[in-house]
Structure 1
Amino acid sequence: PPPPPRRIAVSLIASRPTISAAESDLLSSLPPSILLDFPLAPLNTSLFPASSDPFLLRMEALRLSAHLLPPLISSSGPFSSLIVDISIASTFLPVAASINIPCFVLFTSSAAMLAFCSVFTSSSNAEDDIDIAGIVKIPSSSFPQPLHDPNHFFKTQFVENGKALTLASGILVNTFTALEPNVLVALNSGEVVPRLPPVIAVGPLLPERKQSVWQPSAMRWLDKQPERSVIYVCFGSRTAMTREQIMELGAGLEMSGCPFFWVMKSKMVDREEMEEIEELLGEGYVKRVEGRGLVLMEWVEQEVILAHRSVGVFLSHCGWNSMMEAVAAGVRVLAWPRGGDQRVNAAVVAGSGLGVWPEKWVWEGEEGVVGAKEIAKKLSKLIVDDRMGETTAKLAAEAAAAVEKVAAEAAAAVVAERGNLINGLVHLDDKVIM
């Protein structure tokens, strides 16, 4: 007989108010009963540069508030397990150990980035390439930009979080075996870091797909386009471009001759968007591309767009959540990393056959602008690349198979191989806090 269904109650810790509207929208879509408000200790922002990334400042505030976790757990628990994001691992893992609760790290980037995070130390020279177990070679030009600044507080966060990984009961990674097979084997065999806890591929982690009520006019526009003909352009919820680069991108999309759906951002935090499309692209642009191009400056249901039959190419910054949505939809990617982990992720995209990465295209902090002709050439070539289309279709099938696997089966396989290190994560009637 089939095993009884697992009954796992999940609570989600959240700090509010959120920084971005995208975060706020997500939290408001969840049942209030599962949300726990996490208080933040005061953060003296005067100790940080005025230009500091507001998202990194929030991570620092969370890291410095780990001591407030035990009172929250005692008043809302008991809980059988705790899952924390990698960005706060170094302070929350010791606190979880002090109250005897198994703690797992959720790593929402690629397995390649996990390997890099686990080996990069305070003594690592940020100007030297890193070769990881002979499997992944990451050039210094692909390191997150703050790692090149020895005094940047992100470097401290990054190094401390990487060192803390060995304290976790397990590491859950948003990837799947067919996409990064060699790296996952190396991580679990001890080739990357000795005594690393089990690394469990749990991806692709995808939003629950519902019948869309968002932008009926935009969906009607997509419905009118030929199959796999549309270029979807989006650089994430927190990536912005200069005005000059936006102009060149707009010209390149117009020059490509392909239908396109462009979600534009000019500010890092979406609540700050004030400019109009015509201000950024020039008067007459929207009229010239009318019918062939759709340009928006608002939140969109990206997973719905990527899953639409008309979308064939995704021009993306290579944020890992976006890549998981792209591979699940079988959409090929033109990778244009803009910062953070995105060049490491772009290398995974190119190596797996999910897409192509023009490695010389500049990212945040580098001088130069990618010209319209270059953008148009890459897009028009990729949209008709049938061979890559076949590869992405195969990866989509592998992603679907990975999603269907029962998490308990994956956990049991790791337990059998590596010892009973993750006991408690998926037992019946367990209560998990994230």
Structure 2
Amino acid sequence: MSASESHAHVALLPSAGMGHLTPFLRLAALLACNDVMVTLIITRPAVSLAESQLLSRFRSSLPQVKLVDLHLLPLDPTTVNSSDPFWLRFEAIRRSSHLLSPLILSLEPPLSAFVLDMTLISPVIPVTHALSLPSFIFFTSSVKMLSFFSYLPTASFSDHDDLSIPGISPIPRSSIPPLLLMPDSLFANIFFQDSANLAKLDGVLINSFKNLEPETIEAINGGEILRKLIPPVFDIGPFMPCEFENVDNGNSVVTPLKWLDEQPQDSVVYVSFGSRTAMKRDQVREIGDGLLKSGCRFLWIVKDKSVDRDEEEEVEEIVGRELIAKLKKNGLVVKTWVDQRQILGHRSVGGFVSHCGWNSVTEAAWYGVRILAWPQHGDQRINADVVEKSGLGVWEEKWGWGQEVKGEEIGKRIKDMMNDESLKKSAEQLRDAAREAVGDGGTSHVALQRLIGEWKKKKMNTSATA
């Protein structure tokens, strides 16, 4: 048997947005380092410039991973109820899913398994089933969000009651993504269709680990009700950051890392709301006022548009020139894509004001950086609950969806977080648990080897019957 015949060959199909692409690329790197042949299917064109640049760096850093383009069919935006460019791309991929069959059949050696994004289940499953190809999703959120997602077909959302899911703490109605409560939204259509088909999959891969979500992982592994709704779950996180994510800030005199090098240990609060959150100008300026009132050093990443290609105005115009002048005395304000793993891993960073996108949560856990959770949309309030219950951070739950929060309150919460030594210690303990999970014999390492073993077994069975 040749090397290609003995190794599992897996294709990965990510969806749009850095929140989906980044963990898929980390997964590809992890599998490649564990002797799995990986083909990455890239949908073209990319929505954001950051996605294009990340893919370019990935291609250069991991030439052993084969990249194959899937050119999408045009989508008429008037046929769907959404203006969000990323959700429109999700729908374009879904409508182009029939193009996958000839692409899959062209791959050599034949695939052992197909791993798709969580937003593509219902249109892709018929394709993989027709090819007798085992199908897995990579769920790019928390295990608690997966439990909620699996429970959607049987859930009823009342105006006041919490959503009770057996085995885990209730989910308040206020934490349910608002678009799910709009039955005609594209977001709701995709989620309800896909959750109903979740049980048809062969497994779920997830970037989490036992100490981060002990209650929910136990409910899935041991709870009879959730096990009937969810196929086997492989909690294989947290994914270690990869070198291909390094960002070149050019020849700028003051880059974030250079500035951080000059600050005392654990003194800086990092403020970022992810790759898709564009805040209103009034709220941006309240954040600036809050950072001043906190008295802390800070690195603040400002974002004005949901898609980076649309960014035109300078940071001074967004934040206000007078406020920027005051902020420069104690911090650095930038409006550019940064390598978040390098920032969170820097010795001077001691806290993180975060929207609680799942990548940000797992990165903070990996580096042991405490979080002040400020969810903005989607799964982020459910993730914020995970952050607080795990001891990784604190969550001001009364800061609701889209609610303007005043600078004085922001400043107080930041100061409290940065002065909370018990929270700092708890985050550091979670960091140690994260590294233990992915080390030899750790829970995540064992789950990964079990998954790869299943793929290899499928490969050998296919070769024997060929």
TM-score by length of 2: 0.84
| Partner residue, 1:57 | 88
In the other structure, the counterpart of 1:402 is 437
Alignment of structure 1 residues 264-303 onto 2, 5 Å:
264-303=302-341
- Shift, 1:238, TM fit: 0.6
Question: Residues 122 and 60 of structure 1: is their aligned pair in 2 closer, same or farther, counting only changes over 3 Å?
Answer: farther
Could you tell me which residue of structure 1 aligns to residue 202 of structure 2?
169
Q: Which deviates more, 70-79 or 264-273?
A: 70-79
The structure 2 residue matched to 1:198, chosen from 232, 245, 257, is 232
8 Å contact from structure 2 (residues 198, 229) kept in 1? no
State the superposition RMSD in angstroms: 2.5
Offset of 1:284 from its aligned partner?
Answer: 2.6
Task: Answer yes or no: is 1:354 the counterpart of 2:385.
Answer: no
Match of 1:147 in 2: 180
Residue 349 of structure 1: how far off its partner (Å): 0.3
Counterpart of 1:327? 365
2:138 alignment counterpart: 106
Q: Which residue of 1 aligns with 2:416?
A: 381
**Is the 1:206–1:324 Cα contact (8 Å) retained in structure 2?**
no
Contact 2:163 2:173 in 1 (8 A): yes
Change (3 A) 1:180 1:122: closer
Match of 1:72 in 2: 103
Matched, 1:188 2:226: no
Query: Secondary structure in 2 aligned to 1:29?
Result: helix
Correspondence 1:8-157 to 2 at 5 A:
8-31=36-59, 34-49=66-81, 52-77=83-108, 78-121=110-153, 124-125=156-157, 127=159, 128-157=161-190
Structure 1 range deviating more: 400-409 or 17-26: 400-409
Q: Distance in 2 between matches of 1:120 and 1:165?
A: 11
Q: State how far apart, in whole Å, the 1-side matches of 2:237 and 2:445 are.
A: 14
Q: Distance in 2 between matches of 1:400 and 1:13?
A: 30
What is the percentage of aligned positions where both structures have the same residue? 43
Q: Distance in 2 between matches of 1:188 and 1:287?
A: 53
Measure the CA separation in 2 of the matches of 1:179 and 1:345.
11
Q: Give the letter for the 1:139 counterpart.
A: P
Higher relative contact order (CA 8 A, sep 6+): 1
Say which structure is richer in helix.
2
Q: Is the 8 A contact 1:88 1:161 kept in 2?
A: yes
Amino acid in the other structure paired with 1:86? M
Deviation (angstroms), 1:122: 7.5
Cα displacement (A) at 1:41: 2.6
C-alpha separation between the residues in 2 aligned to 1:214 and 1:222?
Answer: 16
Secondary structure of 2:83's counterpart equals coil
- Aligned match of 2:248 in 211, 214, 221? 214
CA distance in 2, matches of 1:43, 1:405: 46
Aligned-residue offset at 1:414: 8.0
Distance in 2, matches of 1:211 and 1:268, equals: 21
How far apart are 1:375 and its partner, in Å?
A: 0.3
1:204-237 C-alpha deviation (Å, 9 max, x unpaired): 1233147956346321210111111101000000
- One-letter identity of the residue aligned with 2:274: G
In 2, the alpha carbon distance for the partners of 1:6 and 1:244 equals 48
Gaps of 5+ in 1: none
Cα contact 1:119–1:193 (8 A) shared by 2: no
Residue type at the aligned position of 1:125: F
- Residue 239 of structure 1 corresponds to 277
Task: Tell me by how many angstroms 1:24 deviates.
Answer: 1.1
Which moved further from structure 2: 348-357 or 270-279? Answer: 270-279
Q: Does 1:255 align with 2:288?
A: no
Render the CA deviation track for 1:128-187: whole Å, top value 9, x for unaligned.
421111413111111111111111121111012112111111101110001111211211
Aligned partners of 1:234, 1:425: CA distance in 2, in Å? 43
**Structure 2: where are the runs of 5+ without partners?**
1-6, 8-32
Shift in Å, 1:363: 2.2
Please list the CA deviations of residues 396-432 of structure 1 after superposition, one character each: whole Å capped at 9, or x if unmatched. Answer: 00111122247673256689xxxx9x4548979x99x
Distance across 1 between alignment mates of 2:53 and 2:316 = 27
Supply the distance in 2 between the matched residues of 1:298 and 1:232 (Cα, whole angstroms): 14
1:218–1:386 CA distance, 2 compared to 1 (3 A): same
Q: Which range moves more in the overlay, 18-27 or 348-357?
A: 18-27
Structure 2 CA distance for partners of 1:329 and 1:408, relative to 1, 3 Å: closer
Q: Structure 2: which amino acid aligns with 1:71?
A: P
The SS at the match of 2:136 is strand
Letter in 1 for 2:234: I
CA distance in 1, matches of 2:366, 2:445: 21
**What CA deviation, in whole Å up to 9, does each residue of 1:304-347 have, x standing for no partner?**
00000000110010000011100101000000000000000000
Distance 1:268 1:414 in 2: 36
Over residues 261-297 of structure 1, what are the superposed CA-to-partner deviations in whole Å (9 max), with x where a residue is unaligned? Answer: 0010111111111122221222233322224210111
Contact 2:247 2:338 in 1 (8 A): no
SS of structure 2 residue aligned to 1:333? strand
Q: Is the 8 A contact 1:209 1:303 kept in 2?
A: no
Question: Could you tell me whether the CA contact under 8 Å between 1:120 and 1:162 is conserved in 2?
Answer: yes
Return closer, same or farther for 1:59/1:211 CA change in 2, 3 Å cut-off. closer
Q: Distance in 2 between matches of 1:153 and 1:195?
A: 23
TM-score after normalising by structure 1: 0.90
Correspondence 1:309 to 2:341 = no
Name which of structure 1's ranges 403-412 and 96-105 shifts more when overlaid on structure 2.
Answer: 403-412
Q: Distance in 1 between matches of 2:448 and 2:272?
A: 35
Equivalent position SS for 1:338: coil
Contact 2:270 2:351 in 1 (8 A): yes
Partner amino acid, structure 1, of 2:226:
V
Match of 2:29 in 1: none
**How has the CA–CA distance of structure 1 residues 179 and 346 changed in structure 2, closer, same or farther, with 3 Å as cutoff?**
same
